Structure 1
Amino acid sequence: MSINGIDRSQITAMMAQIRAAAAKMEGVQQPVRSAVSPAETPKIDFAEALKASLDQVNNAQSASKKLGEQFALGDDRVSLSDVMISAQKASISFQTTVQVRNKLVSAYHDIMNMQI
């Protein structure tokens, strides 16, 4: 069945991926299921998922800074390529977080401007 040009199986697969990512953030590996009834769907706390995501971004930035400092101090175990890759990973994760924030703010404004 197609909903606005999107196949229902694609939506179901995307929801399974989102559930798996949320479970991974909580530290619990669950198998990816293609069809989950609403009664079986685990409740995900938005605040905890957001905090876990922000903690991952913070950890990536801290690791990048630490590698940069080690390289600057002349540590032979750290190469320039490691420093640059770490910096790019931190940058991409930060940019992704900013884009998610922008989408959330936009959705909030759309909801607040709805007519009742």
Structure 2
Amino acid sequence: MTDAVRSILSQIRAHELRMQSMQPAAGAGIAPAGDARPSNAIGGTAPTATDFQKTLNSAIDSVSKAQNDAGALQQAFELGDPKADLARVMVAMQQSQVAFKAAVEVRNRLVQAYQDVMNMPI
């Protein structure tokens, strides 16, 4: 696995941990009727599809933000803004490129996993 993919995966895991820490502790009270999440074997709650969707959307948004920031910094450099030096522009562009490549790699792995599941004999 490349460093970029590991970086994105660690960011996704960190985001998941932050989201879990924001939720009330298990056993702190009775869950509302609309919050019927299945529990896993460890005793916690199993992640739902919306958790994965939120995590994936967050990762895509961060890639988009990195690309937009790099583009804005590049444009500022081209217009002669003294705050936008060449080194910052190049670093921002490389960061957005690495983030995009990692997102594409994650997408490719998800598609491959989906195809593997769909090709399994029943």
Structure-1-length-normalised TM-score: 0.70
Larger relative contact order (Cα-Cα within 8 Å, sequence gap ≥ 6): 2
The one-letter code sitting in structure 1 at the alignment partner of 2:92 is S
Alpha-carbon distance between aligned partners in 2 of 1:64 and 1:110, rounded to the nearest angstrom: 36
**What is the aligned-residue RMSD (CA, Å)?**
2.5
1:38 aligns to what? 42
**Percent identity among equivalent residues?**
38
Corresponding residue pairs, total = 93
Q: In the alignment, which of 56, 63, 66 is matched to residue 57 of structure 1?
A: 63
Q: Where does the alignment leave 5 or more consecutive residues of structure 2 unmatched?
A: 1-10, 23-40
Q: Where does the alignment leave 5 or more consecutive residues of structure 1 unmatched?
A: 1-16, 30-36
Report how far residue 39 of structure 1 moved: 1.8
Q: In the alignment, which of 102, 107, 111 is matched to residue 101 of structure 1?
A: 107
2:98 maps to 1:92: yes
2:103 maps to 1:111: no
Alignment CA distance shift 1:90-1:19 (3 Å): closer
Q: How does 1:19-30 map to 2 (within 5 A)?
A: 19-24=13-18, 26=19
